[in-house]
C-alpha cells in the first residue's frame, strides 16, 4: 500500500463530518473543501455546490464525444460517534491495528469513495486520462436522507447526464470476495405517540380504571408480528416479489450464512420469518422493526406511576414490488385497529425510500462483474441483494433515467454506524484496484 494513499485517507477521516449535528457544520464544510482539493490535485475539475444543508462536491474530466459517461457517487458525511466511550481509540483519530483501519467513516463511506478517487488519480497519473467521461458526485447528507440531492439532480440534469452510476457503499460477503449487489431494500419510517390520561397518574389510586399508555404501546408493537416471525399487517406481503429459484440456489453457496450472521450479531439464536434462510430474510423479505420504544419512569429505582403517554419509532424494510405509500397506509390501518380502548394514537410519517432492483445480467452488470473478476483474480463472485437502503439510487433512476452498479467493500464486521467502525487496509487497496478495472471495462 502506497503510504501517500493512507495519508490521504487519514486526512479525510480526521474531519468530524457528522451531518446530523449542527455543531459540526463547519467540519462538514471543511471536509468538502479538502475533498474538492484532492479531486483537483489528481487532475479533475472540481466544484463545491452549496445547498440549504451541506455542500455537494462534483468533479469531472474533460468529456469527449463517443465515450461512455460514468458517474461515481459516494458520501463524505458520517454518522454520530455515540456512545463515544465504547470506542477502543478516538473515532476521528484513525489508527491501524492488525491491518485494519479503525475510525468513524473508514468504511461508510470515506474509505470506499476515496478508493475510487485515488484509483482515478493513479490512472490519470499513468495514462493522462481515464477511458470514460467521468463525473464524481459526492454528497454530505447521505446519512440524513439526501435531503437536498434530489433538487440538485433536477436542476443539473444536463450536466449530470450519464450512462451508468457506480457506488461502493454496500457490503462484501466475506474477506477478499468480489460482491455484486443487484438489490437494496426500501424503507418507510414512522413515529407513534399514544396517550390516555391528561396527566401522569398515581398507579395505586387509578390503576385498574384506565388503560396504561405504556401497556398500550407494548401491545401495539407486539401486534406487528405473529409468533412465526411474519409481519401481521393485513396485505403487507401482497406485492412482495417471490425469490427466484436461481437466487435461492446461489445464496445457499455464499461464504456468508447463519454462522457468520450469528457471530457478527452476537445473538444467542437467530430468529426470523419461517420458511426462509437468514440470507433470504435479510436480502429478499420485508420486515417491521422497532427502533425505539419508551415511556414512563426511566430513572433508578421504582416510581408508581401510570405515564400519560408513550412512544415508539418504527421502520419497515421493503422489497420489490412493495411501495412505501401503500405499506404506510396498510400499517396505519393496522395500528388504529390494534389501539386498545381508552387510548389516543398519533402517527407521524417519516422518511421513505423505494426498494431497488437491477438486472445483474444487463450489459453494464456483466461489465461490472468482469471488473470484479479482474480486481479479485481467481475468486468466485457473490451476487446478492442487500438488506440496507440507499434511497437515492431510485431517485437517480427516476430523474436521470440511469441504473446503478453496487460494488461494495464493507465487511460484515465493519461496525458501520457503531463504535469501532473499521475498514481493512486490504479493502482500501482493493477499492483502488476495482476502480481502475471498472473504468477500463466501462470504457470499452
Q: Which residues bind ligand BES (CB under 6 A)?
A: 108, 142-143, 145, 169-171, 184, 187, 351, 353, 386, 388-391
Contacted entry of ligand BES, Zn ion, none for residue 107, CB cut-off 5 to 8 Å set by kind:
none
- The item of Zn ion, ligand BES, none sharing an interface with residue 74, based on CB under 5 to 8 Å by kind, is none
For residues 18 and 28, what is the distance between their CA atoms, to the nearest angstrom? 7
Choosing among ligand BES, Zn ion, none, which partner's interface includes residue 379 (Cβ < 5 to 8 Å by kind)? Answer: none
Scanning residues 211 to 270, which ones bind Zn ion (CB under 5 A)?
none
Q: Are 124 and 134 in contact (CB under 8 A)?
A: no
Least separation in angstroms between residue 383's CB and ligand BES is 14
DSSP character for 15? Answer: S
Helix (H, G, I), strand (E, B) or coil at 353: strand
310 or 383: CB nearest ligand BES: 383
Q: Which stretch binds Zn ion (CB under 5 A): 15-23, 107-115, 223-231, 314-322?
A: 107-115
Query: Which residue is nearest to ligand BES, using beta carbons?
Result: 388
Least distance (Å) between residue 139 CB and Zn ion = 12
Q: At closest approach, how far in Å is the CB of 113 from ligand BES?
A: 11
Binding partner at 46 among Zn ion, ligand BES, none, C-beta below 5 to 8 Å by kind: none
Binding-residue pattern over the window 343 to 362 for Zn ion, x denoting contact by CB under 5 A: --------------------
What span, in angstroms and rounded, lies between the C-alpha atoms of 46 and 40? 6
- Whichever of 43 and 350 has its CB closer to Zn ion, that residue is 350
Q: Quick one: which of 440, 412, 435 has its CA closest to 424?
A: 412
CA angle 97, 103, 104 (to 5 degrees): 160
Residue 421's binding partner out of Zn ion, ligand BES, none, with CB under 5 to 8 Å set by partner kind: none
Helix (H, G, I), strand (E, B) or coil at 48: strand
CB nearer to Zn ion: give 54 or 60.
Answer: 54
Q: Are 150 and 342 in contact (CB under 8 A)?
A: no
Distance from C-alpha of 108 to C-alpha of 205, rounded to nearest angstrom: 52
Rounded to whole angstroms, the Cα distance separating 427 from 114 reads: 12
Measured from the CB of residue 416, what is the shortest distance to Zn ion in angstroms? Answer: 5
Contact 230, 273 (CB under 8 A): yes
Q: Which residue has the cell 431497488?
A: 356
Among positions 8, 27, 77, 108, the unique one binding Zn ion when judged by CB under 5 A: 108
CB-nearer residue toward Zn ion: 149 or 201: 149
User: In the numeric block, which cell numbers belong to residue 205?
Assistant: 389510586
Q: How far is the CB of 145 from ligand BES (least distance, A)?
A: 6
Prior bond of 339 cis (ω within 30°): no
Cβ 187 to ligand BES, closest distance in Å?
5
Q: Which of 110, 84, 89, 121 is nearest to 19 (CA)?
A: 110
Q: Which is nearer to Zn ion, 130 or 390 (CB)?
A: 390
Q: What is the C-alpha to C-alpha distance for residues 25 and 127, in angstroms, rounded to an integer?
A: 38
Q: How far is the CB of 208 from ligand BES (least distance, A)?
A: 42
Compute the least distance from the CB of residue 159 to Zn ion, in Å.
27
Q: How many CA atoms lie less than 13 Å away from 402 in the CB half-sphere? A: 23
Smallest gap from Cβ 417 to Zn ion, in A, equals 6
Q: Which residue, 56 or 130, has its beta carbon nearer to ligand BES?
A: 56
Q: Which is nearer to Zn ion, 105 or 196 (CB)?
A: 105
Q: Report if residue 77 touches Zn ion, rule: CB under 5 A.
A: no
- CA nearest neighbour of 77 among 164, 10, 13: 13
Closer to Zn ion by CB, 232 or 418: give it: 418
Rounded to an integer, what distance in angstroms lies between the CA atom of residue 347 and that of residue 336? 9
Is the CB of 167 or the CB of 224 nearer to ligand BES? 167
**Nearest residue (CB) to ligand BES, 309 versus 386:** 386
Pairing of strands 422-424, 100-102: antiparallel
Q: Which three cell numbers stand for residue 186?
A: 426500501
Q: For Zn ion, what does the binding mask look like between residues 267 and 286, x meaning CB under 5 A?
A: --------------------
323 binds, among Zn ion, ligand BES, none (CB under 5 to 8 A by kind): none
187 is in the binding site of which of Zn ion, ligand BES, none (Cβ under 5 to 8 A by kind)?
ligand BES
Q: What are the angstrom distances between the C-alpha of 102 and each of 21, 96, 115?
A: 22, 6, 16
Spell out the long-range contacts of 41-44 with Cβ–Cβ below 8 A and sequence spacing 24 or more: 41/121, 42/117, 42/118, 42/120, 42/121, 42/124, 42/125, 43/121, 43/124, 43/125, 44/120, 44/124, 44/134, 44/136
Q: Considering beta carbons, is residue 14 or 147 the nearer one to ligand BES?
A: 147
Q: Which residue has the CB atom at the shortest distance from Zn ion?
A: 108
Residues engaged in binding Zn ion (CB under 5 A): 108
Amino acid at each position: 500500500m502506497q503510504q501517500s494513499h493512507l495519508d490521504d485517507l487519514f486526512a479525510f477521516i480526521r474531519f468530524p463530518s457528522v451531518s446530523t449535528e449542527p455543531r459540526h457544520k463547519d467540519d462538514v464544510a471543511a471536509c468538502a473543501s479538502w475533498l474538492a482539493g484532492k479531486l483537483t490535485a489528481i487532475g479533475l475539475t472540481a466544484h463545491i455546490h452549496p445547498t440549504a444543508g451541506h455542500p455537494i462536491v462534483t468533479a469531472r474530466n474533460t468529456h469527449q464525444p463517443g465515450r461512455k459517461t460514468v458517474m461515481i457517487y459516494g458520501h463524505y458525511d458520517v454518522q454520530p460517534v455515540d456512545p463515544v466511550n465504547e470506542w477502543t481509540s478516538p473515532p476521528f483519530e484513525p489508527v491501524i491495528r492488525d491491518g485494519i483501519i479503525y475510525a468513524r467513516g473508514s468504511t461508510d463511506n470515506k474509505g470506499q469513495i476515496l478508493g475510487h478517487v485515488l484509483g482515478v488519480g493513479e490512472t490519470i497519473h499513468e495514462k493522462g486520462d481515464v477511458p470514460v467521461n467521468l463525473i464524481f458526485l459526492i454528497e454530505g447528507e447521505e446519512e440524513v436522507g439526501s435531503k437536498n440531492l434530489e433538487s440538485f439532480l433536477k436542476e443539473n440534469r444536463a450536466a449530470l447526464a450519464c450512462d451508468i452510476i457506480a457506488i461502493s457503499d454496500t457490503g462484501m460477503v466475506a474477506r477478499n470476495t468480489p460482491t455484486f449487489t443487484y438489490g437494496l431494500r426500501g424503507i418507510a419510517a414512522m413515529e407513534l405517540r399514544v396517550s390516555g390520561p391528561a396527566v401522569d397518574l398515581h398507579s395505586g389510586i387509578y390503576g385498574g380504571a384506565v388503560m396504561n399508555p405504556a401497556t398500550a404501546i407494548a401491545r401495539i408493537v407486539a401486534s406487528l408480528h405473529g409468533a412465526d416471525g411474519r409481519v401481521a399487517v393485513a396485505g403487507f406481503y401482497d406485492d412482495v416479489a417471490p425469490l427466484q429459484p436461481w437466487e435461492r440456489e446461489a445464496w445457499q453457496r455464499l461464504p456468508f450464512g447463519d454462522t457468520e450472521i450469528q457471530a457478527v450479531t452476537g445473538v444467542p439464536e437467530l430468529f426470523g420469518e419461517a420458511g426462509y434462510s437468514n440470507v433470504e430474510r435479510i436480502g429478499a423479505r420485508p420486515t417491521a422493526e422497532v427502533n425505539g420504544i419508551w415511556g414512563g419512569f426511566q430513572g433508578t429505582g421504582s416510581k408508581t406511576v401510570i405515564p400519560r403517554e408513550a412512544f415508539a419509532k418504527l421502520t419497515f424494510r421493503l422489497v420489490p414490488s412493495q411501495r412505501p405509500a401503500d405499506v404506510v397506509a396498510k400499517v396505519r390501518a393496522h395500528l388504529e385497529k390494534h389501539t386498545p380502548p381508552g387510548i389516543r394514537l398519533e402517527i407521524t410519517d417519516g422518511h421513505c425510500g423505494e426498494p431497488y432492483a437491477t438486472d445483474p445480467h444487463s450489459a453494464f452488470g456483466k461489465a461490472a462483474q468482469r471488473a470484479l473478476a479482474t480486481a479479485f483474480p481467481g475468486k468466485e463472485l457473490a451476487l446478492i441483494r442487500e438488506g440496507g437502503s440507499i434511497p437515492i439510487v431510485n431517485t437517480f433512476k427516476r430523474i436521470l433515467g440511469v441504473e446503478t452498479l453496487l460494488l461494495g467493500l464493507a465487511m460484515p464486521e465493519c461496525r458501520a454506524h457503531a463504535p469501532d467502525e473499521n475498514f481493512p487496509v486490504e479493502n482500501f487497496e482493493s477499492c483502488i484496484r476495482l476502480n481502475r478495472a471498472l473504468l477500463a471495462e466501462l470504457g470499452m
